[in-house]
Structure 1
Amino acid sequence: MCESDAVHPRFQNRPLHYSNVMKIALVQLSVGGDKAKNIAAAVHEIHQAKAKGAQLVALPECFNSPYGTKFFEQYAEEVPSGETCRALSKAAAEAGICVIGGTVPERCGDQLYNTCTVWDGSGKLLAQYRKMHLFDIDIPNKITFKESDVLKPGNQISVFEYQGVKIGLGICYDLRFPELAQIMTNQGCSLLIYPGAFNMTTGPKHWELLCRARATDNQLWVGLVSPARDPTAGYVAWGHSTLVNPWGEVAGTLDEKPGTLIADIDLQLIDEVRSQIPIRTQRRTDIYDIIQK
């Protein structure tokens, strides 16, 4: 059985905060060709993060598979019945925390998607998001890549709630589209999480810049979760998993090596920024607007 894009109801504009702080962990994994080893490493880091007090753990894009169009078919599995999903569900339940499962190549019928799954503290599938904007670029003498040769795009926005905090999902190239972030913010999000794998051309130029832009534009927390860098891979990830606060300041970042960024998300900071710089009430929606179709 394969599931369609998770459909979520429209939320009220104001975030729900049941507590003022949530401890999160952004896990930058080393990813190789051994799928079972990749999954086992992710499960280990979920439990390690729990031991350090994390309430929510986020994994990187394509954490169970090398990133590349030639790998997606080979590593693809159904959601939620595949081996990676079963392992994430079990780990989330055993640790009693929310797991944002990076992304996996998803097979649904004869279609392939780049899909993020979210599991609550009981191991239940809480949300599912299929990458909406596929990475099709051509930078002469630098990089040419076309995900659409293999993948289909998702067509649903995904926002979920965990412990009273509304969280929105994007995947890598989605970060470049501010309209998506704006809609998720309008639905009440306090945190946006983007599993991603920017490369050695786009990473140095735009990874942190775009993260800070989305956080500043929307006055919320934004987390980017990358695989660790493997210089021998066909596609070399930038790494540098990053967390930015609602002021647009970098609250934490990693280098290119495997590691985990653990940080407290101060939800009161969102209200502080939005009250001092009240752009949400000053938008000229009588002249322009961003809508979800």
Structure 2
Amino acid sequence: MKIAMVQVYASTQDMTANYNKIVGHVREASEQGVTCICFPELTLTGYDLNKSDEAIDKQYDYLEALRTLAEQLNMTILVGGIERDGTKRYIAQFVLHHTIEGYRKIHIGNKEKAYVTPGEKIHVFQSKGLTFGIMVCYDTHFPELASIMTRMGAQVIFAPSASPNDPRKRIEMWKKYMVARAYDNRITVLATNLIFGEKGGGMIGYDGRGELRLSLASLEDYRMIIDLKSYDFHKKGMRDRLFHHDRQPLIYQKAEETLVKSWNDS
């Protein structure tokens, strides 16, 4: 299975331009045999969490058009935007295939708290024979999230991001922990970062053996394709052991309860 990761510059003022850029990458990726394509956090709207309700609602016209395109091309499209539910807003990564689904970012940054609400649901998606999870930007710093998604059946975890720093620094930071998310869970982890003009950008990916599968430090719009590898992680040797089989959840739970009690008593 071919998966495409895309890094792009997204305008905060021109959603139509963002949409057209997304469509271009989707069509070209389809011609290359890609069945799943992932764009960065907030690609459709641009990184502007203070948009009007009208602008956010207009986004759904583009999402429906992308869903229709995904169905026509027999693809799955993952694209970042803002989801509105009444007065609440969420940073969301939409999953577009035969329907529109989405993941709401659970761990939000301090600057984002003034504009958006954290999501409350961990779940995985199934599309075109692939089961996958999504961790958005700050989510990737919390290993429990990747572990739970893996135990829910995810084969891949996508990590769309919007971090406005130098792409080389972004890559070096990802190298500190993305490999752990992949290796410990025996799962492919693929990350891509939004471009903010002179900042942002960067892509990285590891497979379940912790092997580097893609890496790019650039400020240019770019698309990279990875062929998803399948390993047998049920062997006894450490090289291909599925570590989840040796988990001790009751011990962890007891320790967690003790910690919580200690914090409440202090």
Shorter-chain TM-score range: 0.7 to 0.9
Task: Report the secondary structure of 1:77's partner residue.
Answer: helix
1:27 corresponds in structure 2 to 6
Report 1 or 2 for greater relative contact order, CA contacts < 8 Å, sequence distance ≥ 6.
1
2:105 corresponds in structure 1 to 131
- Check conservation: 2:233, 2:240, Cα contact below 8 A: no
Instruction: State the one-letter code of the partner of 1:30.
Output: Y
2:19 corresponds in structure 1 to 39
TM-score by length of 2: 0.85
Which ranges of structure 2 fall in alignment gaps of 5 or more residues?
257-266
CA RMSD in angstroms comes to: 2.5
The ranges of structure 1 where at least 4 consecutive aligned residues each deviate by more than 6 angstroms after the TM superposition are 272-275
Shift, 1:188, TM fit: 1.3
Instruction: State the one-letter code of the partner of 2:224.
Output: L
Instruction: State the one-letter code of the partner of 2:56.
Output: A
TM-score by length of 1: 0.77
Out of 238, 251, 254, the residue aligned to residue 213 of structure 2 is 251
Residue 263 (1) aligns with residue 226 (2): yes
Which has the greater radius of gyration? 2
- Check conservation: 2:163, 2:194, Cα contact below 8 A: no
**CA pair 254-71 structure 1, distance change in 2 beyond 3 A:** farther
Shift, 1:119, TM fit: 1.7
For 1:205-228, what per-residue CA distance to the aligned partner results, in whole angstroms no more than 9, with x for missing partners?
A: 522323212101211100112223
Question: What percentage of aligned pairs have identical amino acids?
Answer: 26
For 1:72-123, what per-residue CA distance to the aligned partner results, in whole angstroms no more than 9, with x for missing partners?
A: 7674237xx812211221220222111112x101222111111111122xx4
Task: Report the secondary structure of 2:148's partner residue.
Answer: helix
Q: Which moved more, 1:91-100 or 1:44-53?
A: 91-100
Higher helix proportion, which one? 2
Q: Write the mapping of 1:95-244 to structure 2, written as runs, cut at 5 A.
A: 95-101=73-79, 103-120=80-97, 123-125=98-100, 127-136=101-110, 146-200=111-165, 203-231=170-198, 236-237=199-200, 239-244=201-206
Which ranges of structure 1 fall in alignment gaps of 5 or more residues?
1-21, 137-145
Distance 2:104 2:51 in 1: 17
Distance 2:163 2:55 in 1: 20
**CA pair 88-274 structure 1, distance change in 2 beyond 3 A:** farther
Q: Count residues in correspondence.
A: 250
1:16 corresponds in structure 2 to none
Shift, 1:171, TM fit: 0.9
Distance 1:258 1:59 in 2: 11
- Check conservation: 1:39, 1:84, Cα contact below 8 A: yes
Distance 2:155 2:253 in 1: 21
Distance 2:41 2:29 in 1: 18
Task: Report the secondary structure of 2:2's partner residue.
Answer: strand
Distance 1:55 1:204 in 2: 26
- Check conservation: 2:56, 2:84, Cα contact below 8 A: yes
Shift, 1:198, TM fit: 2.3
